[in-house]
Amino acid sequence: MKKIILLLACIIQFTTYAQVDSSLFKRVAVQDTSIQLNVDATYNRPFLSVGKSPVAVGGYIEANTNYAVTDGVSEGLSFQMRRMTLFLSSAIGKRVRFLSEIEFEDGTKEINIEFAAVDFEFHPMFNLRGGIIMNPIGSFNQNHDGPKWEFIDRPIASTTIIPSTWSNVGFGLWGKYSKNKWAFAYEAYLSNGFDDRIIDNNLNRTNLPATKLNPDRFEESFNGVPLTTLKTALGHRVLGEIGISWMGGVYNKFEEDGLVLDSRRRVDLLAIDFKTTLPIKTAIRGEWVWAFVDVPSTYSQQYGEKQRGGFIDIVQPVLRRTMLGFEKAVLNACVRLEYADYNVGTFNETGGDIGDHMYAVVPAISFRPFPQTVLRANYRYSWTSDLLNNPPSKTAAFQFGFSTYF
């Protein structure tokens, strides 16, 4: 906490400085002109450098209004300050750089270090990264900045099955190779992992994000077994990008003080992500994830052994010209389709399908006065079924908000 305050103080200092001399801040141009893959998302953000210092700062903010009606009942209109995120990067030396990302969620309810790692570049194909890293599972986790998306809510499967934003203390290697129209990237990390909250929590469902409630997870591994995350992605300048990733490890405390308490129980996630742009400029991207959790058979089927879900975003620019004085403004018509099934399987007692799933359709309009700022209007309709597969409850949400890098 102290460090965060210090950091804030620094930034405020910079800002006041900046008022004296507005030429102090300079946009840092991203030099990399190769095909941008998800692996690049960490650095592919607008930064401001400060004077001649090697330090660059940045961040984004998002806020929105929300009016939701569930089966005819509404809690009324709320204003939501979703998050403010600060980036701080610095080129420590030749081919050694540091980047951190600190997020304030829902006001100051949650303050998280989402990323704070040092990269040592030995070769473009061989970078060593260590610190608080973002596990490269799917594409959203590493590429989650609000201003990059046309939708106000984060994709549901990416935040409730994949626990985005999911970062851990760890080390690993990554690399990228590009030639002509092609690019290839890999990432491999060992980090701290999950704990047994994932199948024992007050949501009464298998919930990987529940691990984030463990305050000690940046300090020590819950069971001493590292979580492995592997990802590989292939990109093409015209065709787009496809990535396959896997993350797995043991989540339970199977041993304590040398006493064996349980067998080692695993959690594994497998994800596929893709993005492409059609010749008519339609941008399509999405990801799909499967999660497999070894739940003791003597426990409760309330907690699913399998989960799956994903989303697909279709974004069609309909106007791309000077609008309201913004020279290169873009107006997009968009739709997101998403699905999450938290408990894939059948009841032991009846053989009938277990419910606990949801679907949503989100038609949306987004307006980008410039690339790093987006104003969004979303209409979100979702169907949620309970464990027993009773008739789903229906929710419609009207959301309006913005997200911008600053």
Q: Which of residues 31-50 bind other proteins (CB under 8 A)?
A: 36, 44-46
200 is a contact residue toward other proteins (CB under 8 A)? yes
Among 3, 92, 204, 216, binds other proteins (CB under 8 A): 204
352 is a contact residue toward other proteins (CB under 8 A)? yes
1 is a contact residue toward other proteins (CB under 8 A)? no
Nearer to other proteins, 65 or 128 (CB): 65
Nearer to other proteins, 96 or 213 (CB): 213
Q: Which residues of 378-397 are buried (b: 16+ CB within 10 A; e: fewer)?
A: bebebebbebeeeebeebeb
Identify each DSSP E strand in 16-157 by its residue range.
25-28, 47-50, 55-70, 73-93, 96-105, 110-123, 126-134
Nearer to other proteins, 173 or 384 (CB): 384
- The site for other proteins, by CB under 8 A, has a size of 77
Question: In angstroms, what CA-CA distances link 360 with 86, 165, 309?
Answer: 31, 21, 11
386 is a contact residue toward other proteins (CB under 8 A)? yes
- Restricted to residues 66-95, the positions that interact with other proteins (CB under 8 A) are 67, 69-74
Among 34, 65, 80, 112, binds other proteins (CB under 8 A): 65
Stretch that binds other proteins, among 87-95, 102-110, 169-177, 349-357 (CB under 8 A): 349-357
Measured from the Cβ of residue 182, the count of other Cβ atoms closer than 10 Å reads: 14
First to last CA, the chain: 23
In the complex, least distance from residue 258 CB atom to other proteins, rounded to whole angstroms: 16
Nearer to other proteins, 66 or 168 (CB): 66
Among 17, 122, 177, 370, binds other proteins (CB under 8 A): 370
In the complex, least distance from residue 89 CB atom to other proteins, rounded to whole angstroms: 14
Among 201, 214, 232, 384, binds other proteins (CB under 8 A): 201
- Restricted to residues 149-188, the positions that interact with other proteins (CB under 8 A) are 150
Taking residues 236 to 265 in sequence order and writing x for each that binds other proteins by CB under 8 A, - otherwise, the string is ----------------x--------xx--x
Nearest 10 degrees: Cα torsion 213, 216, 219, 221:
-80
196 is a contact residue toward other proteins (CB under 8 A)? yes
- Restricted to residues 212-241, the positions that interact with other proteins (CB under 8 A) are none
Nearer to other proteins, 12 or 278 (CB): 278
Among 9, 30, 96, 319, binds other proteins (CB under 8 A): 30
Measured from the Cβ of residue 113, the count of other Cβ atoms closer than 10 Å reads: 16
27 is a contact residue toward other proteins (CB under 8 A)? yes
Among 4, 277, 292, 335, binds other proteins (CB under 8 A): 277
- Restricted to residues 284-343, the positions that interact with other proteins (CB under 8 A) are 285, 295-296, 298-302, 315, 317, 324-326, 332
Closest CA to 78 of 400, 403, 402, 404: 400
19 is a contact residue toward other proteins (CB under 8 A)? no
Nearer to other proteins, 127 or 252 (CB): 252
What are 373's strand-pairing partners? 370, 404
Spatial contact of 343 and 307, defined as CB atoms under 8 Å apart: yes
In the complex, least distance from residue 196 CB atom to other proteins, rounded to whole angstroms: 7
Task: Report how far residue 162's alpha carbon sits from residue 357's, in angstroms, rounded to the nearest whole number.
Answer: 15
Nearer to other proteins, 16 or 348 (CB): 348
364 is a contact residue toward other proteins (CB under 8 A)? no
Sign of CA dihedral 44, 47, 52, 53: negative
What are 43's strand-pairing partners? none
Task: Report how far residue 28's alpha carbon sits from residue 255's, in angstroms, rounded to the nearest whole number.
Answer: 50
Closest CA to 187 of 142, 130, 136, 143: 136
Q: Which residues of 188-212 are buried (b: 16+ CB within 10 A; e: fewer)?
A: bbbbbbbbbbbbebeeebbbbbbbb
Tokens of 271: 């994800």
Task: Report how far residue 17's alpha carbon sits from residue 245's, in angstroms, rounded to the nearest whole number.
Answer: 44
Closest CA to 265 of 235, 295, 306, 305: 295
398 is a contact residue toward other proteins (CB under 8 A)? yes
